[in-house]
Amino acid sequence: MSDDETVVVSARRMLTADVCEFELRRADGALFEPAGPGSHITVHTPSGEARSYSLTSDVSDRSRRVIAVRRDENGRGGSRSMVDEVHDGDELVISAARNAFELVEAPSYLLVAAGIGITPIRAMLVELLRRGVADVRLVYLSRSRDETPYLEEIEEIAELTGAGADSMTLHHRTIHGAFDWWPLLEAPGERHLYVCGPEPLQNELRALTMHWRPSRVHMEDFAGVSAFGEISLPFEVDWQPTGARIPVTSDQTMLAALEGAGIDVDSSCGSGTCGTCRLSLVEGEADHRDVVLTESERAHFVMPCVSRAVSDRLVVAPITVVPQ
């Protein structure tokens, strides 16, 4: 990625037995570009895997980026190498911050986090409290107290703000069982819902918010979607700036085909969730497989890391080129 930069790990601490927080500062001591709550960065981990992590803490502090990484024993190795091999003073290469989970202005918020999903939600909570927004409700799900990153901090915030159990709910599934969402979701009002957690939780909350305006329901899941999970037929993609015509085989993503042809497309998650690889859709009908674009955006944009073509050919361009 062209906007990669080298940072130094200025502090690390274990938040739970398997979640480690890293504080990163620019090697030259300069400030980072501004980033809003909900932003993420891509980290080139020691294992060689690139991984996207949400910024947590107060993102208005531009002297540092703070991320928290859950060590996934069964993952591809990126998170394990971060927790096991990255120490104070080490250098890492990270991307600029990007935001596909933006906090919009609203009179009322319901923030839902599960486990490590607290990272972007914590940044949102800090920002909303800083702005003095009064109507903020947090539901934070985890298996137990021991497996709850930032537990004491959230409890302190609840105490300091006088919010108490009415607006800051810590729900430990092994103690409390299933959470009853309906009282919170039945009457949406002007509220915006932000959810960061695993797919089953997102599916449950999507089903329970079918009566909400879609623009008020915001979800984040870096587990992402698959470009090959459905039938994948070959097609062609034309790169409008040069007119190059590139074949995309059935076992290849459009992104890989473009990159294979020497076209540099900025990308991050590779799973249709972060919004980084967005291209203008100039011509053709796309088979949209991402979870980023809204219905109205799908007529004009495509995410080549997962999406494919319904028509035989798509014409795409960088998003700086306005679609005709």
User: Can you give the binding site for ligand FES, defined by CB under 6 A?
Assistant: 267-270, 272-277, 290, 292, 303, 305
In angstroms, give the least distance from the CB of 266 to ligand FES: 8
In angstroms, give the least distance from the CB of 295 to ligand FES: 17
In angstroms, give the least distance from the CB of 306 to ligand FES: 7
Strand 191-196 with 136-142, pairing: unpaired
DSSP string, 127-195: HHHHHT---EEEEEEESSGGG-TTHHHHHHHHHHHT-HHHHEEEEEHHHH-S---HHHHS--TTEEEEE
In angstroms, give the least distance from the CB of 39 to ligand FES: 13
CB nearer to ligand FES: give 102 or 146.
102
Crossing angle for the helix pair 118-131 and 151-161, nearest 10 degrees?
Answer: 20
Tokens encoding 82: 């971060």
State residue 113 phi and psi, 5-degree precision: -130, 145
Angle at 252 between CA 247 and CA 258, to 5 degrees: 55
Residues 144-158: b if buried by 16+ CB within 10 A, e if exposed: eeebbbbbeebeebb
In angstroms, give the least distance from the CB of 304 to ligand FES: 7
CB nearer to ligand FES: give 229 or 243.
229
In angstroms, give the least distance from the CB of 98 to ligand FES: 9
DSSP string, 84-107: HH--TT-EEEEPPPEESS-----S
CB nearer to ligand FES: give 16 or 267.
267
3 state DSSP class of 123: helix
CB nearer to ligand FES: give 59 or 274.
274
CB nearer to ligand FES: give 94 or 125.
94
Strands (E), 227-276: 235-239, 244-248
In angstroms, give the least distance from the CB of 297 to ligand FES: 13
CB nearer to ligand FES: give 115 or 275.
275
C-alpha to C-alpha distance for 53 and 90, rounded to whole angstroms: 18
Whether the CB-CB separation of 224 and 268 falls below 8 Å is answered with: no
C-alpha to C-alpha distance for 76 and 68, rounded to whole angstroms: 17
CB nearer to ligand FES: give 277 or 282.
277
CB nearer to ligand FES: give 44 or 172.
44
Largest CA distance in the chain: 61
In angstroms, give the least distance from the CB of 271 to ligand FES: 6
